[in-house]
Structure formats: structure tokens, C-alpha cells
């Protein structure tokens, strides 16, 4: 039903576009009416002194146009509400139909799978007839459900057409007073007709898709029923022949050709076994259950092997990660120790540098004292020292030291 869903979505978008076009047309009508009212007002103001009766007629015409504008706005609102309600109803009905169709498909698929599973096993003629009857009933039920679905779609299409006809008739009844309104209504009517034609085409395509689905399902059910009937008939015929040969073998005397009868009986048994093998190997189902289970087990084993390999790789990666973390911790501790050693050496160098600077400063300061002592010693030996000069030198030395 992907085509039906796409058609419904396109129809919803078309309805939305139609509503927008109606809204735009109402807006343009409002603008045109407003311009006409302004023009008539200006004409009435210019000709009020000379043509009073014409001004009165223009005012009446303007009032009529205003009333027409209000009526058009009211009708546009009603049309928009109708279109919105119709769109909501169509969406709800479409969703309900899709849900019903999905449920029916699931139910039919389960019933067909059950019938195929029963047909794959060797059964008696009564079971084959019951299966054939079930397939016929299933075909009739499918036909009835498809017809009901088509009727619902047709009813929905008729409701949509009636709603659009009401919208179109309401628009025609209210907008026939002016030529411009008539032209716009004609344009809107043409658009509605176009949308209705597109909707009918989409409904026809949807109905064709439903018919194709019904035909395909009928062909499948008919082929399955024919194949099942043929298989049942062959099985019944072989069982009957085998039963007749067994009775004939039990009734004949040992003097007759007992070996020939036994050979024929064995051939019939082989034919029955071959028929059962062919019936079991018939491609009635999309896939063989045993083969599917075997492939599933192989795939599960591959997944388990891949999971074990991934677990081993993950464990190996975890071990490598732990070793890397341990090595990183060792390197961090060593770097921390080296940083501490470097910091200690830096502090020692800083201390020695400060000590050397203090010693150099002291040596510089003591150089003046030594020079003064040397001068005092020299002057003491040669002549008497001037007390004022000595005091000034001592003060300079104290200032330098301070």
C-alpha cells in the first residue's frame, strides 16, 4: 500500500494547496474591494458638490461591496473549515483502512503459512480436501475484504466530491454579483475540478493496485490449491494401488508368481517413498526451515567465534593498557624525582649565588675600609692626621656601608 499512502499524502498536500489558494483569492478579493471602495470614496468626494445623486449611488454601491466582501470572507472561512474537516476525515479513514489492511494481511499470511506447513507434510485425502476447502474459503474471504476496502475508498471519494461540490456551489451562489467575483469563482472552480480529476486518477490507480494485488493473491491461492489437489490425488492413487496390491498379495496362493507380486509391491512402495520425498522437497515455502535453522546456527557460531575473538582482543588490549599505565606511572615517578632533584640543585645554586653576591658586596664595602686604614697608617707614619678630613672619610664610609 505504499502507492496508496503516497496518493493520500499527495491528496493532503493538494487540499492544503487548495486551501492556501482560497485564502489567497479571498485576500486578493479583499484588496480589490478595498481599492474599489477607496476609488468610489474619492469619486464621491470629488463629485459631491455637483452630482449628489451619483454620489449616493456610489456610496450604496460601496456599501454593497463591503457587504459582499464580508459575505465572501464568511464563506471563505466556512469553506476552509469544510476543507479542514474533510482532510481530517480523509486522514482518519485512510489510517483506519491501512490498519485494517495490515491486520488482514498478517492474518492471511499466517493462515497461508499454516496451510503450506500442513501441505508439506504427507496427509490423507481428507486432510487434502480440508486444506483445499480452507484455501477456497480464504480466497473468498480475501475477495470480500478487498471488495469492502474498495467500497470504503469509493464512499470516501464520493463524500469528498460532495463536499467539494458544496464548496463550489456556495462560492458560485455568493460571488455571482460582480464580474470580477465570477471570474475568480470560475478560476477556483477550475482548480477544484482539476484537483478532483487528479484525486479520481489517484483513486483509480489505487483501485488498480488493489485489483492487481487481488489478482496476484488469487493466482497464488489457485496455484497452491491446484498443486495441493494434484499432490493429494497422486498420493491417494498410489495409496490405493498399494492397498490393492497388498490385498492381492494376501489373497493369492504361494503357487502363483509371488516373487513378481513382491517386486511390484516393492516398486509401488519405492514410488510412494519417491512421491513423499518429492512432496517434502517441493518449494512450497520461501525457505526450507531446516536449512534456515542450519544457516542460523552457523551464523550464530560465527557470531560466537567473533565475540570470543573480540573478547580475547579486548583482554589483550586491557593487559597492554595496564602495562602502559604501569610504565607511565614509573616514568612519572622518575620525572617527579628528577624535577625534585633539579629544584634542589636550583635552590642550592640560588643560595650559593646569593652568598657570592653578599661576599662580593662585603668585599666592595670592605675595600673602602681597607683603603682608609691604609691611608691612616700612611699618614700616621709621616704626619699628623687631619681630624676633619678623617671624620669626613669616616662619614662617607658609613654612608657607603649603610
Identify the pLDDT of residue 327.
Answer: 85
Contact, 82 vs 75, CB < 8 A? no
Angle between helices 2-46 and 52-120 (to 10 degrees): 180
Q: Which of 20-34, 304-318, 332-346, 352-366 has the highest mean pLDDT?
A: 332-346
pLDDT at 50: 46
Buried b vs exposed e over 250-282: b needs ≥16 C-beta within 10 Å? Answer: eeeeeeeeeeebeeebeebeeebeebeeebeee
- Rounded-to-integer distance, Cα 229 and Cα 113, Å: 17
Given a cut of 60, whether residue 213 has pLDDT beyond it is yes
**What dihedral do alpha carbons 385, 388, 394, 399 form, nearest 10°?**
-160
Q: What is the mean pLDDT of the chain?
A: 67
Contacts 24+ apart (CB under 8 A), 64-68: 64/177, 65/33, 65/36, 65/37, 65/40, 65/178, 66/33, 66/37, 68/33, 68/177, 68/178, 68/181
pLDDT at 286 (0 to 100):
45
> Is 221 exposed, middle or buried, given 0-12, 13-18 or 19+ CB atoms closer than 10 A?
buried
Q: Which three cell numbers stand for residue 117?
A: 506447513
Per-residue cell: 222: 489457485
What pLDDT does residue 321 have? Answer: 82
| Contact in structure between 153 and 206 (CB atoms under 8 Å) | yes
Alpha-carbon distance of 125 to 132, in angstroms, equals 10
Check if the beta carbon of residue 44 is closer than 8 Å to that of residue 58.
yes
Q: What is the DSSP letter of 285?
A: S
* Among 155, 164, 169, CA closest to 194: 164
Q: What is the 3-state secondary structure (H, E, C) of 336-402?
A: HHHHHHHHHHHHHHHHHHHHHHHHHHHHHHHHHHHHHHHHHHHHHHHCCCCHHHHHHHHHHHHHHHC
CB 246 within 8 A of CB 265: yes
Mean pLDDT along residues 296-319: 81
**Residue with more model confidence, 249 or 319:** 319
Q: Which residue has the higher pLDDT, 273 or 53?
A: 273
Residue 303 has pLDDT above 60, yes or no: yes
pLDDT tier for residue 210 given thresholds of 50, 70 and 90: low
The pLDDT of residue 124: 41
Mark residue 79 as left, alpha or beta (left: phi above 0; alpha: psi -120 to 50; beta: remaining): alpha
CB 54 within 8 A of CB 150: no
Cα(125)–Cα(396) distance, integer angstroms = 141
Instruction: Note the pTM of the prediction, 2 decimals.
Output: 0.24
Q: Is the pLDDT of residue 90 over 60?
A: yes
Q: Which range scores top for mean pLDDT: 221-230, 246-255, 322-331, 378-387?
A: 322-331
311 has pLDDT over 70: yes
Q: Which residue has the higher pLDDT, 256 or 358?
A: 358
Q: What is the mean predicted confidence (pLDDT) over 268-288?
A: 62
114 φ, ψ (degrees, to nearest 5): -65, -45
Whether the predicted pLDDT of 391 surpasses 80: no
Exposed (0-12), middle (13-18) or buried (19+): which is 172, by Cβ within 10 Å?
middle
Q: State the DSSP code for 384.
A: P
Amino acid at each position: 500500500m505504499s502507492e496508496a499512502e503516497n496518493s493520500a499524502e499527495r491528496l493532503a498536500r493538494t487540499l492544503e494547496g487548495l486551501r492556501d489558494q482560497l485564502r489567497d483569492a479571498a485576500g486578493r478579493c479583499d484588496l480589490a474591494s478595498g481599492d474599489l471602495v477607496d476609488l468610489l470614496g474619492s469619486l464621491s468626494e470629488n463629485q459631491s458638490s455637483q452630482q449628489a445623486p451619483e454620489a449616493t449611488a456610489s456610496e450604496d454601491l460601496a456599501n454593497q461591496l463591503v457587504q459582499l466582501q464580508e459575505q465572501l470572507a464568511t464563506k471563505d472561512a466556512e469553506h476552509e473549515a469544510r476543507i479542514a474537516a474533510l482532510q481530517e476525515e480523509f486522514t482518519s479513514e485512510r489510517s483506519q483502512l491501512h490498519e485494517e489492511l495490515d491486520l488482514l494481511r498478517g492474518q492471511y499470511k499466517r493462515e497461508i503459512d499454516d496451510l503450506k506447513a500442513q501441505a508439506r507434510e504427507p496427509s490423507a485425502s481428507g486432510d487434502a480436501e480440508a486444506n483445499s476447502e480452507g484455501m477456497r474459503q480464504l480466497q473468498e474471504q480475501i475477495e470480500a475484504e478487498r471488495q469492502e476496502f474498495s467500497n470504503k475508498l469509493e464512499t470516501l471519494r464520493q463524500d469528498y466530491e460532495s463536499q467539494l461540490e458544496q464548496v463550489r456551489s456556495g462560492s458560485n451562489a455568493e460571488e455571482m454579483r460582480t464580474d470580477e467575483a465570477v471570474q475568480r469563482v470560475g478560476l477556483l472552480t477550475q482548480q477544484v475540478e482539476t484537483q478532483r480529476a487528479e484525486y479520481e486518477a489517484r483513486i483509480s490507480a489505487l483501485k488498480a493496485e488493489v485489483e492487481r494485488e487481488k489478482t496476484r493473491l488469487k493466482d497464488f491461492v489457485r496455484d497452491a490449491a491446484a498443486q495441493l489437489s494434484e499432490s493429494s490425488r497422486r498420493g491417494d492413487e498410489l495409496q490405493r494401488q498399494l492397498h490393492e496390491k497388498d490385498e492381492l498379495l494376501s489373497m493369492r496362493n504361494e503357487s502363483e508368481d509371488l516373487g513378481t507380486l513382491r517386486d511390484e509391491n516393492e516398486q509401488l512402495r519405492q514410488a510412494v517413498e519417491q512421491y513423499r520425498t518429492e512432496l517434502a522437497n517441493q518449494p512450497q515455502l520461501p525457505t526450507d526451515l531446516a536449512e534456515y535453522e542450519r544457516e542460523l546456527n552457523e551464523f550464530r557460531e560465527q557470531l560466537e567465534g567473533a565475540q570470543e575473538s573480540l573478547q580475547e582482543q579486548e583482554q589483550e588490549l586491557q593487559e597492554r593498557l595496564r602495562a602502559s599505565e604501569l610504565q607511565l606511572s614509573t616514568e612519572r615517578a622518575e620525572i617527579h624525582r628528577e624535577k625534585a632533584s633539579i629544584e634542589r640543585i636550583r635552590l642550592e645554586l640560588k643560595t650559593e649565588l646569593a652568598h657570592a653576591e653578599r661576599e662580593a658586596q662585603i668585599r666592595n664595602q670592605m675595600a673602602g675600609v681597607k683603603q682608609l686604614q691604609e691611608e691612616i697608617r700612611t699618614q700616621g707614619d709621616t704626619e699628623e692626621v687631619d681630624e676633619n678630613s678623617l671624620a669626613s672619610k669616616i662619614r662617607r664610609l658609613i654612608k657607603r656601608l649603610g
